[in-house]
Chain A
Amino acid sequence: MIELQHINKTYTRPTGEAVHALIDVSLRIQRGEFLAIAGASGSGKSTLMHIFGLLDSPDGGHYLLDGEDVSGLSVKQQARLRNRKVGFVFQSFHLLPRTSALENVELPLLYSDRGSTRGLGRKALEAVHLSDRIHHRPSELSGGQQQRVAIARALINEPDLLLADEPTGNLDRQSASEVMALFQALNKAGRTIVVVTHDSEVAAHCGRIARIEDGRIVSDQPVPQPKNLMEAAQ
């Protein structure tokens, strides 16, 4: 469903120096896959994820989403597509402060053209096991709970693709496992998920790992036996 063909992305530092964040990256992700993008800091993981999520445009190459070339879309078209097809989860949660969990989760609906949206926020919070925290503000939630609110927000528009950049980076082990367990459950239910991480322990929970070094994909392999947190939980 997602195909990157010979993607290049170059940044220019304020000093004028060019940074080749992505070099000739080609990658194909099937519907229902659970992919980890692993690599050291500065290797280009986030850049790749921003291109997946239509937050940024490549300088060269093609991006096919559901068979449609989306590399040349306007900023406005990208925004609509992001709203419909992509859900983002960030390391630092990015929840609106002084705003209830429910309102945070419903934020993407503000920019969507869906007709009826009644009850979707509650349903999404239910899916991340936070039905009893609907009216809590972020400051009243633990880190793991905040990240689950962010995941509910990413899911509210039923996106085809869930993108997570270091989703466990700010969490303790226990909360990190909860989040990974949630991803595994969502993936089992058919959701396509891409997790960016430099943590091999996190990557080991995914179905496939693409390794990136200095902007190039250096290996791309399925995980023979992903660690299964759902079984462990039972």
Chain B
Amino acid sequence: MSPIRIVKHSVRTMARFKLRTGFMMLGSMVGVAALTFVLSAGRAAERKTIETVSRMFGDSAILIEDGGGHFAGGPRGQGSRLKLDDLDAIARELPNVESWDPQQGLPGGSVRHGDVTERARVMGESERSEHVWGRKASRGEYFDAAAVKAADRVAVVGETVVRTLFKGEDPLGAEIRIGSVPFRVIGVLEPWGTDPHGMDRDNEVLVPITTLMRRVTNVDTIASAKLLLRNSNDAERTSTEIRRILRARHALAANEPDDFTIITPAEVRGMVAQVQKVLFLYLPLVAGVALVVGALVSAILMLVSVNARTGEIGLRRAVGAGIGDIRLQFLVESAATTIAGGALGIALGYAAARAAASRMHLGEVELITTLLFGIAASTAVGLLAGTIPAMRAARLHPVDALR
């Protein structure tokens, strides 16, 4: 009575019940594919989010945005109030601010070189941008303090711009026009990739913020600023101070809401946690439902099979099968079928996750993670689908089963 022989025998029955096998495999495949897809794509998305967020904010930076409301696209307050002087004052008053960079920009500015025109994100920044955002020029150079002070018409461009606008020609020293204003390209930004909003951060042109404000956008307010802190443990206190300074400078009465938004490292961590919750709680929950439905379908098909095969079960008992042998047989039958379906599901889930990751620029999907999740999910389906039918088959009295 070797269990190995019974296992082999049971696996062979998969071919005896082609229709049942097919539908059970399908049920398990869909569930496993959904779960592996969500989990592996989720892992990639999480990695990408954390990587991007830490690259953008680090853990010792505060972001100030013009307008009240919230970072994640809430309503903005009326009228832009945030000015370069506000930031100067903050930096002067708060010793914890190590450096800061103001930003003002045109999300889809038209940029021309010769007779080629492209849309790019045109950003006005200070000379400290290189340090504050940790992004250097890979060729040529960044604009310096003098250029910002004098509002020089110089620009640093991203690699995408080099590709689309210059078609591979050397951009250094060349002239581009932002709107109708001519700028001289003095540097090329090191590559960055896409940000969490899916925006290509290499399709970017950086110019001195003073130049942008005076000659292109013609405003005297800034959109946002990033402040680097000396001591990140003091971030909350610094943020309170910033709020106090800005409210005083903007002459806000006690009952008026902030006309700016401060994003602290704690809030950034909260956002990441929120993303993780969606990726690893809500989405898997939905996929889990697909898995459970697949398992239930398989379990029902298996139960139908047990009912249709009572005679066979009685006969097996008559020729010497024990209760355990019957249980093992039906467990293996359903497990082999659902695990085979699960294997297809893993392949499908992995392919889908890779496709999604590449569309959303999430980087690589780890095969090993997919395999682990997929095998765990298939096993769960197999056990769910197999246990009850197997117990039912084993409980039958041989004489009743043979009738």
Seen from chain A, the residues whose Cβ lies within 8 Å of a Cβ on chain B are 50, 53, 55-56, 75-76, 79-80, 82-84, 88, 90, 92, 94, 96-99, 107-108, 110-113, 153, 157
Contacts and interface: CB of A to CB of B under 8 A. Distances in A.
17 contacts: A55-B399, A56-B399, A80-B320, A80-B322, A82-B319, A83-B320, A84-B320, A88-B315, A88-B318, A92-B311, A94-B315, A94-B318, A96-B315, A107-B319, A108-B319, A111-B322, A112-B320
Contacts of B320: 79-80, 82-84, 108, 111-112, 157
A111 B312 CA distance: 14
B43 interface: no
Interface in B162-180: none
A132 B327 CA distance: 35
Contacts of A80: 1, 320, 322
A111 B316 contact: yes
A99 B15 CA distance: 10
B317 A79 contact: yes
A111 to B, nearest CB: 4
Contacts of B318: 53, 55, 82, 88, 94
Contacts of A113: 1-2
A108 B398 CA distance: 15
A153 B316 CA distance: 11
Contacts of A75: 322-323
Contacts of B16: 96-99
Contacts of B314: 94
Q: For B2, B315, B317, which residue has the most chain A Cβ atoms within 10 angstroms?
A: B315
Interface of B is mostly: helix
A76 B398 CA distance: 13
B325 interface: yes
Contacts of A92: 311
B402 interface: yes
A107 B320 CA distance: 10
Contacts of B311: 92, 94
B254 to A, nearest CB: 81
A108 B322 CA distance: 12
A76 B321 CA distance: 9
B6 interface: yes
Contact of B319 (A56, A76, A99, A111): A111
A180 B399 CA distance: 25
Max chain A Cβ within 10 angstroms of own Cβ: one of B5, B6, B320, B325:
B320
B312 A112 contact: no
Interface string B384-398: 000000000000001
Q: Rank and list the top 5 A-B pairs by shortest CB-CB distance, nearest first.
A: A83-B320, A111-B320, A108-B319, A94-B315, A79-B322
Contacts of B317: 55, 79
Contacts of B2: 113
Contacts of A112: 1, 320
A92 B401 CA distance: 13
Given A50-B399, A53-B318, A56-B398, 16 more contacts: A56-B399, A75-B322, A75-B323, A80-B1, A90-B315, A94-B318, A96-B315, A97-B16, A107-B319, A108-B320, A111-B319, A111-B321, A111-B325, A113-B1, A153-B319, A157-B320
A110 B322 contact: no
A111 B311 CA distance: 17
Contacts of B319: 82-83, 88, 107-108, 111, 153
Nearest to A90: B402
B9 interface: yes
A110 B399 contact: no
Contact of B312 (A82, A94, A108, A157): A94
Contacts of A153: 319
A55 B1 contact: no
Contact of A76 (B9, B322, B402): B322
B306 to A, nearest CB: 15
Contacts of A55: 317-318, 398-399, 402
Contacts of A107: 315-316, 319
A153 B402 CA distance: 16
Contacts of A157: 320
Contacts of B315: 88, 90, 94, 96, 107
Interface in B301-332: 311-312, 314-325
Given A79-B321, A98-B16, A99-B16, A110 B398 contact: no
A57 B403 CA distance: 17
A64 B45 CA distance: 72
A110 B9 contact: yes
A55 B1 CA distance: 18
A136 B128 CA distance: 85
A97 B13 CA distance: 11
Contacts of B5: 110
Contacts of A84: 320
